[in-house]
Structure 1
Amino acid sequence: MSQSKSTSRRTFLTQTAAATTCIAAASSRRLFAAANDRLNVAFIGVGGRGGVNLKTIAGDASVNVVALCDVNRKNLEKAAQNHPKARTYEDFRLLYDDTNDYDAVVVSTSEHTHAYATMPALKLGKHVYCEKPLTHNVYEARAITKAAADAGVVTQMGTQIHAGSNYHRVVELVQSGAIGKVREVHTWVGRAWGLQSPADAKANGDTVSVQQRPTEAMTPPDFLNWDLWLGPAQYRPFHEVYFPGPKWYRWWDFGNGTMSDLGSHWNDLAYWAMKFDAPKTIEAFGDDPHPEIAPASMSAVYHYDARGNLPAAKHFWYQGTHKPEIWKSKGIPQWNSGTLFVGDKGMLLSDYGKHLLLPEDEFKDFEPPTPFVPDSPGHHQQWIDACRGEGQTGSPFSYAGPLTEANHLGNVAFRVGRAIDWDAASMKVPHADADRFLRRIDPRDGWSLS
């Protein structure tokens, strides 16, 4: 790929990010200038992760819960008991068609409806907090990133660990050159949601080892609106292998397996610290791809061009039984999940809550740099504060969108079955039958992002 094309790709993403940050800050100051303003919030998805988001965000005294939405009536009724003044909905499309008395929206639905619940809010000029992964596919990620920039609102993807002090310190160490120039990063996770044998499923704590789409239909629970849960996905009869979560993670129609689930958290650290933009080439390795179910175990390698004064670098991803060679040879501590930065002056190993400079004896007298990544009041609180014009979010869609794209591209390379070159500006993969994996080709009638 030519240097000019690479530069154009980086310029495109940088300009998008800058536009979103500047406009969002201006918009939030305009809408919530007074410290005692109430932030009226609508919540779409209020069970599981959504229930946590509701409890945490509504716990701020400045937040007023005006609407609740869930396709699961149990979840909706429980949330309504705690917020009796809020309107309730099963279909978020009706919420958006109803009134306009909210300032912000929190989206915590299943992965395949994230974009469909988020896009209307952006078009209405509402601030948005959306759970990870931001979208179900590459096309949706780009569309949501652009819509957020056009709207000029405050956004945050739910990568809560991004606000943790450990990630902040690791970013500072990498970017200050503590281990020299970094040309190689390895990220691995022990979880293995996806296609696997019954024995492996049991060993991984996975309750489903089904190998094919069920042909028999089951009656949905009486509290579940199955048609609305399917959303844009083509209709299929209800079966217990899809619901409740996290069973749906493994099915391509609804999720993207471990990569999109945990990649949002674990690849975030490498993406942030290394200032990655759009990958140039992506390769993936594992068993033959299944047409319906994501892999439990796989690995991928992303090739990134030089970025400013940062050298070209490779980012390796491993899930399930796949691990870095240095891990398998016990050249580093046997952490179940982690990220290893390999520099020309040493290595840096990190997980969510701790990090380690290696070799340890060579860094025993090391003095860390003065902190320059500000501590966060908390991932949810950061979003609330930014909506009120106080500070910025750590994972706005201008950042989370390209990160989500990169994660999805690892799965695209896996499903294509060969290395792919990525032209980020045109959103094309030359010489590969990849378009069907970049977007949902045939969303059901009544479901559109336009």
Structure 2
Amino acid sequence: MTAHRSSRRGFLKVSTAAVAAAAAARPTILRGAADSTAANSKLRLALVGCGGQGRGVMRGLLGAGAQLVALCDPDAAQIDRGRKDAGDQGKDAKPYEDYRKLLDDAGTFDAVLVGTPDHWHAPLCKAFMKAGKHVYCEKPLTHSVAESRELRELSRASKVVTQMGNQGSASASLRRCVEVIQAGALGTIREMYEWGVGVTAREGSAEGEDPIPQGFNWDLWVGPSAMRPFKKDVYHPFRWRGWFDFGNGGLADICCHTINLPLRALDLDYPSKIVINMEDGKQVKDKAAVEFHFPAKGSRPATRLHWQGNGLPPAEVIQPLKDAYKGKIPGGFGIVLVGEKGCIYTSHWNTGALIRLTGEDKPKDVLHHEATKDIPQTLPRVGNHQQEFVDACLGKGKTFSDFDFGGKLSEIGLAGVLGVRAGKSLDWDGEKMQAANAPETTKFIHQEYRKKWLT
């Protein structure tokens, strides 16, 4: 939303061929077609992790035509909630406390929805993919950088469909933003701003101990992480997100939504530097909590993503949005990509994007902007994220956020978490998964598992 002056007609002269070529060169292709599930059969689904997010995605998959056959969770109460939320399909779903028992019955299901806390994502995805099952896993894909890399490599070698649960990937809004940005409508983009989500979480464990509820296998819930006493309303069911051992805080939670559009539209590689503006665990005033510095690539110059955390973007960036929404931005958070010819704002979920070109008073819906209407559609449109997964498992199309793409997205966000945990800026080598100036982060990159509950 800078005041640069340029013609709004210039970018409309981009040819269809040029746009198509640009799109082909960027990581926006669809991957992950099914190899084995019959096109006209029902997709038999097992839900592993029956918490609120898992149940919500389950309902979407059932609505897309999947058939629920199993519910797995170390907490029997969560299984009961999953059965209730599944309606008629929940009546016959077989319950499992231990996912390894579910693996013993591998012939009874085709696909798995992993809706557990983050620390279980990688072990479960790996186990089920090796068993030949299609896997939909909630975001972030994993709990550590090295886990993401391992799942990316496994997904390339596997003949199963994968999809990470950043549901906004299926939105027409995100896909149109990619097309518009790659067509050059915003010109060169050097700065991006995210706001409304903090980056901190807690190390260690809570003090004290409470009785473990009946029907809850706490040892299994902790799984590969370091064991600790059970404490009521501290970790389970949802507060695990605020502990680094289980969820890595807000940055890990939201990165796969927020960085989704920039990664696709700008063909970003790993950041080469991650700047941490935190002192004693508190964000430095008037600075972004975390800055991701992405190097130049081809004709695209270097660009920065400012993860504002508890702060806001500069006034000249945020004020037009406040004006458009009469002083209050819906949800209180989002991301803005600022180019030399204009900017795009979108929610964290990659929906409801608005574009404002230089010289325009107010941002407008990116799907219905008069000046960009001639930019061709190069990406397919789908009903929703869950439908895309079900269809791909049945041999109809491919997924847009497969584990290869989702894993890279997770690696980038989790690299920021490393800086937060280390309390220092990182000289980051994404390919090698290491920070030369912070060897102390190695233990977080390559985590040691408690092996009791692993396959």
TM beyond 0.5: yes
Relative distance call for 1:166 and 1:60 in structure 2 (3 A) is: closer
Q: Assess if the C-alpha contact under 8 Å between 2:296 and 2:302 holds in 1.
A: yes
Quick one: structure 1 residues 170 and 329, their matched pair in 2 at CA, closer, same or farther if it must change by over 3 Å? closer
Aligned pairs for 1:27-426 (under 5 A) are 28=34, 30-34=35-39, 36-61=40-65, 63-80=66-83, 82-188=89-195, 190-192=196-198, 194=200, 213-289=205-281, 299-319=289-309, 321-326=310-315, 330=319, 333=322, 335=329, 336-351=332-347, 352-359=351-358, 361=360, 366-368=371-373, 369-426=375-432
Structure 1 unaligned residues grouped into runs of 5+:
1-13, 196-209, 291-296
Structure 1 position 211, deviation (Å): 9.6
Residues 246 and 68 (structure 1), Cα distance of their counterparts in 2 relative to 1, 3 Å cut: closer
- Once the two structures are TM-superposed, the CA of residue 365 in structure 1 deviates from its matched residue by 6.0
The 1:244–1:193 alpha-carbon spacing in structure 2 relative to 1, beyond 3 Å, is farther
Larger mean Cα displacement after TM superposition, 325-334 or 252-261: 325-334
Q: Is the 8 A contact 1:138 1:438 kept in 2?
A: yes
Contact 2:46 2:68 in 1 (8 A): yes
- Distance in 2 separating the partners of 1:427 and 1:278: 10
Cα deviation for residue 241 of structure 1 reads 4.5
Counterpart CA distance in 1 for 2:105 and 2:452 is 17
- How far residue 218 of structure 1 moved from its aligned partner, in angstroms, is 1.0
State the alpha-carbon separation in 2 of the partners of residues 353 and 220 from structure 1.
43
Show structure 2 runs of 5+ residues with no match: 1-23, 323-327, 364-368
Q: The residue matched to 1:170 in structure 2 has which SS?
A: helix
Q: Name whichever of 229-238 and 161-170 sits farther off.
A: 161-170
> 1:348, 1:264 → 2: CA distance?
18
Are the structure 2 counterparts of residues 378 and 360 from structure 1 closer, same or farther at C-alpha, using a change threshold of 3 Å?
Answer: farther
Return the letter of the residue paired with 2:372: E
CA contact (8 A) 2:177 2:353 kept: no
Quick one: which amino acid aligns to residue 416 of structure 1? A
SS at match of 2:245: coil
What are the superposed Cα offsets for residues 280-330 of structure 1, whole Å, 9 maximum, x if unpaired? Answer: 21112123249xxxxxx96211122233443221122122x2222236874
Equivalent-residue separation in structure 2 for 1:273 and 1:98 (angstroms): 42
Tell me the TM-score normalised to structure 2 length.
Answer: 0.81
- Percent of residue pairs identical: 33
Is this contact kept in 1: 2:288–2:306, CA < 8 A?
A: no
Deviation at 1:359, TM superposition (A): 4.2
Q: Which residue of 2 aligns with 1:428?
A: 434
Looking at structure 2, the residues matched to 45 and 265 of structure 1 have their Cα atoms a distance apart, in angstroms, of 21
Equivalenced residue count is 405
Residues of 1 paired with 2:218 and 2:386: CA distance?
Answer: 30
CA-CA distance at 1:440 after TM superposition: 1.9
- Can you list the C-alpha shifts for 1:252-300, whole angstroms capped at 9, x where unaligned? 111111001112212212222222122221112123249xxxxxx9621
Structure 2 Cα separation of the partners of residues 444 and 136 of structure 1: 14
User: In 2, are the aligned partners of 1:283 and 1:420 still within 8 Å (CA)?
Assistant: yes
**With structure 1 as the length reference, what TM-score do the two structures score?**
0.82
**Match of residue 204 from structure 1:** none
Moved more, 106-115 or 273-282: 273-282
Equivalent runs, 1:3-42 vs 2, <5 Å:
24-25=32-33, 28=34, 30-34=35-39, 36-42=40-46
Contact 2:295/2:303 (8 A) holds in 1: yes
Question: Cα offset for 1:331?
Answer: 6.2
User: In structure 2, what is the equivalent of residue 198 of structure 1?
Assistant: none
Query: Alpha carbons of 1:251 and 1:94: their partners in 2 closer, same or farther (altered >3 Å)?
Result: same
